[in-house]
Amino acid sequence: MQVIIITLLLLISLFALGLQRAYQQVPLKELRRRARQGDPLAASLYRAAGYGYSLRWLLLSLSVITTALVYVYVARVAEPWFAAALVVLSLWFMYIWLPAQTVQEWMVKIAAKTAPAISWLLQYLHPVTERLERLFRRLRHIRVHTGLFEEEDIVDLLERQREQSDNRIPESTIHVVQSALTFSDKPIREVYTPRRVVHSVSVDDAVGPVLLSELHDSGFSRFPVYEEAEDNIVGILHLRDLVDKKRSGKIRTYMKDTVCYIHEEQTLRNGLDAILKTHQQLFIVVNSFEEYVGVVSIEDILEQVLGEKIVDEFDAYEDMRAVALSQANNDRKTRNHPAGEPGDEAN
C-alpha cells in the first residue's frame, strides 16, 4: 500500500512540474497576445497562466510538499540513507533533467484542459499568494522578467534605475528617454492650442505698423489666415516673412497657401510623421465634425518627445486651456450683461 502511495505522490509532483513548464513554455505577454487574437489553446492556457506568480506558487508548493511526503513514507519502510538517496535522485530528475527536456504537445493540451479547474482554485488563493509574492520581492530585490519587452517594461526599468542608490544615468537623460517612449500614444487633443487662444488674421488685412505691432505682441510667430469666416482657413502666415519686407499690401501677399489638417484624436506619433513628411510647422486641428478647433505646432509635439518646455511662440500663456476658459467666461458675462444695462458704470 505504501508503495502505491509513494508512486502516486511522485506522479503528482511530476504532474505539477509538467504543468508549470507547459504554462511557462510561452511568455505570458505573448500568450495573452495570442489569446486576444482568437487562439483557443492560448486562451485556455491564459486562464491559469494569467495569475502569474500565484500559479507558480501553487504548482511549486504542490511539488515540494509531495516530494517531502515521499521522503517521509520511504523513511518508514527503508533505511534513512536510502530515503535520502531516493529524494536526491527524484530532485535531480524533476528539477535538473526534466527542465532541460522539450515540452511535449500532449502536456500542453493537458495543461489547457486543467486550466479551468486551476483558475477556479487560484481565484481563492490569489489574495494570499499575491501577498507572499510581494514579500518575496522585497526580500530578494530581484525581478524575473518574462523575456519579452514592451515600451512599458523599458519605462519601468528606467523608473527603477532612477531609484537605485548607485544610479549613474543623469535624471535629465532618464526623463527624456521616458518621454520619448510614452509620447506616441498621446492624442493631439491633449497638446493642441485651442482656437480661442490662437491669433488669426484675415487675407484682406493690410500690412502696416498697427498690424505688425499686434502680431508681435501676440507672442505667436505663425498665424492661421482666414478668408471671410474664421473657419475658412486658406493659409499660414509666418511672422519672419514680414521682416525686412516693404510694409504695404495685404496679408495674402505674404502668406503660405499650403494648409495641413490633423484630427484631434490622432496620436502625437501621427503628428510628428505628418510634420516630417510635409515639412509644415503648423497644423490646423479639426474634430469629428470637421470643425476647426485649434492648432498644433512642431514645438508642441517636440515638448512631449523631450519632456521639456520649449521656448516658443506660446510662452505668453502658461496654460492655453485656462486662457481659453477665461476668455469664454468673459464672453459669457458680456452677453449676460451687455453695456448700457442698468447697473453698468458710465465711462
* pLDDT bucket at 318, cuts 50 / 70 / 90: very low
Looking at 36-40, 75-79, 313-317, which range is the least confident one? 313-317
Residues 206 and 317 in one domain: yes
- Gap between the Cα atoms of 313 and 316, Å rounded: 7
Q: Domain boundary residue among 148, 173, 204?
A: 148
- 3-state class (DSSP) for residue 39: coil
Residue 140 falls inside a structural domain: yes
Check whether residue 198 and residue 269 sit in a common domain.
yes
Classify residue 347: in a domain, yes or no: no
Q: Are residues 194 and 177 in the same domain?
A: no
Mean pLDDT of 265-290: 90
pLDDT band at 127 (very low <50, low <70, confident <90, very high): confident
Judge contact between 264 and 189, C-beta under 8 A.
Answer: yes
Assign residue 343 a region (left: φ > 0; alpha: ψ between -120 and 50; beta: otherwise): left
At residue 166, does pLDDT exceed 70?
yes
Q: Do both 204 and 331 map to the same domain?
A: yes
Asked whether residue 231 is domain-assigned, the answer is yes
In this structure, are 205 and 293 located in the same domain?
yes
**For residues 254 and 242, is the Cβ–Cβ distance under 8 A?**
yes
Asked whether residue 229 falls in the same domain as residue 293, the answer is yes
Give the SS3 label for residue 338. coil
Q: What is the pLDDT of residues 230-269, one digit of tens each?
A: 889 999 999 888 876 566 688 988 899 999 999 999 998 8
Q: Which residues contact 39 (CB under 8 A, 6 or more apart)?
A: none
Interval 204-229 mean pLDDT: 88
Residue-range definition of the domain harbouring residue 90: 2-148
- Based on the domain organization, do 221 and 328 belong to the same domain? yes
Rounded to the nearest 10°, the torsion over CA 176, 178, 179, 180 is 80
In a domain, 73, yes or no: yes
Residues 172 and 127 in one domain: no
Query: Do 50 and 113 reside in the same domain of the chain?
Result: yes
Q: What is the pTM of this model?
A: 0.46
- Ranking 90-99, 190-199, 226-235, 280-289 by mean pLDDT, the lowest is 90-99
Average of per-residue pLDDT across 161-176: 82
Q: How far is CA 85 from CA 2, 13, 70, 306, in A?
A: 18, 17, 12, 62
CATH of the domain at 262: 3.10.580.10
Q: How far apart are CA 276 and CA 260, in angstroms?
A: 12
Grid coordinates of 97: 533533467
Structural domain includes residue 341: no
Domain presence at residue 79: yes
Number of domains in the chain: 3
Choose between 147 and 175: higher pLDDT.
Answer: 175
Give yes or no: residues 117 and 90 share one domain: yes
- Ordered strands of the 282-286 beta sheet: 193-194, 292-297, 282-286, 261-263
252 located within any domain: yes
Residues 159 and 283 reside in one and the same domain: no
One domain for residues 18 and 143:
yes
| Three-state secondary-structure class, residue 148 | coil
Domain contains 342:
no
